[in-house]
C-alpha cells in the first residue's frame, strides 16, 4: 500500500509545512527535516518523525521530497556533506518541488542517477493557499515510470499533475509560467492605470473587458488590488523575482529574447528597493501609477 | 414597440453588415448606407432600405448606428457635408460603434448636443464572429438615460452591454482592452517561444500553466497558433495596431506611461512591414521566434 510508504519532506517553509501535513492526512508515514530545526516541532506534533539531517531523512524513506528556496539550497540538501545522496538507498525517488535552475536540475539528476537514485523535478504553482488546500498544479520532469511511482503521493498535494517531459522540463515549465505571469500582470497594470487616470468606473471597465480577448486570471483576480492600491498576499513580489531570475537565466542559456519579462524584472528591482518586495506581485502597478502621477 | 423603431446603420464592413442583419432578424426597420454603395445590396435583399447618404439615412431613423474604420470616417459620416447632423431630427440617438479617439468622440458629441442629438460611444469587442452571432461585448459611454432608449436594440447585437460612464468612456475602455490584449498576447508569445526553443511538449506546458495565475484567454485560445506557427483569423494584426495607436494617443494625452503597449506596437510595425499584417494578432510571436532563431 502506498498509504504507508515512508516519505521524507525536507524544507518546512510556507509551502513545505502544509504539504507535510497533507501527506500525514493522506496516511503516509512522514519524516521531516528543516535547516532551522524548530520548524519540525509542529509537524512532529502532527505525527511526523524528525530527522537530524537530509541524509538521515533519506535513510528512513523511499521517497524524498525537497521544497527549499533556491538552487544552492537544493544542491546542499541533495549533494552536500550530510546530503540525501549519502542516505538514500538504491531505488529511492527524489522529488524536488522547489523552483530552481533547469540546468542545475539536470546536473544534480545525473549525479543521483550514478547512485541509482531516481529524480523528478516537480515545481508547483498555486501558492501557499494551494499548498494548504492540496490544490497545487505540479509540473513534472523525469521519466513517466518514476512519476507513476509517486503519483498517488503527489495527488495528496495537488489536483493537477502534468508530466511535461525529461528531467528539467518541469522547471522550464515553471519558468514559462513566471514569464507569462510577469507579462500578464503588467498588461493589466498598464490598462488599469490608463482607466484610473481617466477617472473611469474601474469595476465597470473590468466587467466589460474581462470576458473577451483581454481576459486573464490576473485581470479577474488582481485588478481589484491595483484599483484599491492595496496588495495583500497573494504571491510575494520578491519570490516572483527570484523565480523570474531563473527564467531569465534559462532564456539566456537557450538563446530566447524575452524583453517584456526582462522589463518586469527591472521594475521589480526598483519596487523591491523601495520596500514593496513583500507585497503581492500585483503591486507592480505601483510603477505605472507612479509614472502616471497617481498615488502609489 | 421598439421592434419597429427605424434604425439607420452606416458602415457595412466586416462588423456592420452582420450587425444590420441581426437588427433585421430582431424585427427592426433598418436603413443602411455605405460609402461603397454596392455593399448595401445584400442588406437590401434581406429587407433593409437603402439611403444615398448618412444625412438621408438619419432623416429616416430615430437611432443612427455608425460602424466605420477610424476617427476621420466617423467625423465625415456625422459632421460632413452630407452627414448625419444635417438629417437627424431633434431627439435622435447616434450610437457610434466604431473604435476611434476618445477625445474626438467627446468633441463630436458636443457638436451634436448643440442640435439636441444624443450620442453614445459604444465600441465593441468580440470580432466578426461576435458580430455575426450577436454576442459582442459593448462598452458604452454617454448618459444612462440615452443608453436605456437603445438597450433593446443593442441587445440584438451583443450579450454584454456595460455602461461605463460619460461620453468617451466607452472608447477609453476599448483602448484599455487593446492595451491589455497587446501585453497578454505578448506574454504568451515569450513563454511559448521559450518552451519551443527548449523542445518541450507544448500542449502539456499549456495544460500545466493554463489554469493558474498565468492563465488567460490568449493562452487558452491563441497559444495553439503560436505553437503551430499558423495564424488564421481571428483578429487581424493591422486592425489591432490601428486600435492600439488610438490607445497610445489616449495614454499620451492622459499622461500614462505604457511601455509594454508601445513595445508591442513597434513589433507590429515591423511584422506588418514584413507582410504579416493580415494574419491573426497571435502572429506577434513571429518576432520572438525570429529572435530566438526558430522558423518564423
- Window 73-92 of B, Cβ < 8 Å to A: none
> Which chain B residues are closer than 8 Å to A144 by Cβ?
none
pLDDT below 50 — which residues of chain A? 1-3
- Window 149-178 of A, Cβ < 8 Å to B: 160, 162-165, 169, 172-173, 175-178
- Put simply, whether B144 touches A (Cβ < 8 Å) is no
- Where exactly are the structural domains of chain A? 6-165, 172-292
CA distance A13 to A21: 12
Contact A188 B180 (CB under 8 A): yes
CA distance A65 to A58: 9
Query: What would be the CATH architecture of the domain defined by B6-165?
Result: 3-Layer(aba) Sandwich (3.40)
- Put simply, whether B220 touches A (Cβ < 8 Å) is no
CB B233 within 8 A of CB A200: no
Mean pLDDT value across residues B240-269: 98
CB burial class (10 A; 0-12, 13-18, 19+) of residue B101? buried
> Which chain B residues are closer than 8 Å to A292 by Cβ?
254-257
Given a cut of 50, whether residue B3 has pLDDT beyond it is no
Contact A194 B256 (CB under 8 A): yes
Catalytic residue among B25, B132, B174, B245: B174
Mean pLDDT value across residues B173-184: 98
Given a cut of 60, whether residue B211 has pLDDT beyond it is yes
Q: For chain B, what is the mean pLDDT?
A: 97
CA distance A288 to A293: 9
Task: Give strand pairing partners of A160.
Answer: A137
Same fold flag, B6-165 and B172-292: no
Active site includes B25?
Answer: no
CA distance B36 to B16: 13
Catalytic residue among A25, A132, A174, A245: A174
For cell 440584438, what's the residue? B156
CA distance A224 to A81: 48
Q: What is the pLDDT of residues B46-92, one digit of tens each?
A: 999 999 999 999 999 999 999 999 999 999 999 999 999 999 999 99
Q: Concatenated DSSP letters for B20-42?
A: HHHHHHTT-EEEEE-SSGGGHHH
Pairing verdict, β B63-66 and B118-121:
unpaired
Q: Which residues contact A110 (CB under 8 A, 6 or more apart)?
A: none
Given a cut of 60, whether residue B254 has pLDDT beyond it is yes
Q: Give the 3-state secondary structure of B156-203.
A: CCEEEEEEEECCCHHHHHHHHHHHHHHHHHHHHHHHHHHHHHCCCCHH
Q: What is the pLDDT of residues B213-230, one digit of tens each?
A: 999 999 999 999 999 999
- Put simply, whether B239 touches A (Cβ < 8 Å) is no
- 3 state DSSP class of A118: strand
Q: What is the pLDDT of residues B108-144, one digit of tens each?
A: 999 999 999 999 999 999 988 899 999 999 999 999 9
CB burial class (10 A; 0-12, 13-18, 19+) of residue B117? buried
- Window 7-26 of B, Cβ < 8 Å to A: none
Q: Which residues contact A190 (CB under 8 A, 6 or more apart)?
A: A288, B179, B180, B183, B256, B258, B259, B260, B261
Residue B234 pLDDT? 87
Contact B256 A197 (CB under 8 A): yes
Among partner residues A173, A207, A219, which is closest to B209 by beta-carbon distance? A173
ipTM at complex level:
0.95
CA-based nearest distance B38→chain A, Å: 32
The values of phi and psi at residue B201, to 5°, are: -75, 100
Which chain A residue lies closest to B287 (C-alpha atoms)? A257
Given a cut of 80, whether residue B8 has pLDDT beyond it is yes
Contact A190 B261 (CB under 8 A): yes
In angstroms, the first-to-last Cα distance of chain B is 55
Query: What would be the CATH architecture of the domain defined by B172-292?
Result: Orthogonal Bundle (1.10)
pTM of the model: 0.95
The values of phi and psi at residue A269, to 5°, are: -55, -45
* Grid cell listed for A41: 516541532
CA-based nearest distance A193→chain B, Å: 7
Q: What is the pLDDT of residues A148-162, one digit of tens each?
A: 999 999 999 999 999
Amino acid at each position: 500500500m502506498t498509504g504507508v510508504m515512508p516519505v521524507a519532506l525536507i524544507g518546512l517553509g510556507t509551502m513545505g509545512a502544509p504539504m507535510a501535513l497533507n501527506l500525514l492526512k493522506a496516511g503516509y508515514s512522514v519524516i521531516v527535516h528543516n535547516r532551522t530545526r524548530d520548524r519540525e516541532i509542529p509537524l512532529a506534533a502532527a505525527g511526523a518523525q524528525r530527522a537530524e539531517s537530509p541524509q538521515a531523512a533519506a535513510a528512513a524513506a523511499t521517497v524524498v521530497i525537497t521544497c527549499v528556496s533556491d538552487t544552492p539550497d537544493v544542491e546542499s540538501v541533495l549533494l552536500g556533506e550530510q546530503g540525501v545522496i549519502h542516505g538514500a538507498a538504491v531505488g529511492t525517488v527524489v522529488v524536488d518541488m522547489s523552483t530552481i535552475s533547469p540546468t542545475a536540475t539536470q546536473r544534480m539528476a545525473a549525479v543521483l542517477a550514478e547512485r541509482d537514485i531516481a529524480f523528478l523535478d516537480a515545481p508547483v504553482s498555486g501558492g501557499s493557499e494551494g499548498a494548504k488546500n492540496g490544490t497545487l498544479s505540479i509540473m513534472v520532469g523525469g521519466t513517466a515510470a518514476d512519476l507513476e511511482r509517486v503519483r498517488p503521493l503527489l495527488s495528496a498535494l495537488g489536483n493537477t499533475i502534468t508530466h511535461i517531459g525529461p528531467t528539467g522540463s518541469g522547471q522550464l515549465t515553471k519558468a514559462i509560467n513566471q514569464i507569462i505571469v510577469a507579462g500578464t500582470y503588467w498588461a493589466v497594470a498598464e490598462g488599469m492605470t490608463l482607466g484610473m487616470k481617466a477617472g473611469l468606473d474601474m469595476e465597470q471597465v473590468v466587467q466589460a473587458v474581462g470576458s473577451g480577448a483581454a481576459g486573464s486570471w490576473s485581470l479577474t483576480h488582481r485588478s481589484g488590488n491595483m484599483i484599491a492600491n492595496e496588495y495583500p498576499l497573494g504571491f510575494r513580489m520578491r519570490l516572483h523575482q527570484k523565480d523570474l531570475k531563473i527564467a531569465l537565466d534559462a532564456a539566456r542559456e537557450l538563446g530566447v529574447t524575452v524583453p517584456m519579462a526582462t522589463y518586469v524584472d527591472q521594475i521589480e528591482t526598483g519596487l523591491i528597493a523601495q520596500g514593496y518586495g513583500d507585497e503581492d506581485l500585483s503591486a507592480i502597478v505601483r510603477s505605472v501609477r507612479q509614472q502616471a502621477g497617481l498615488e502609489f
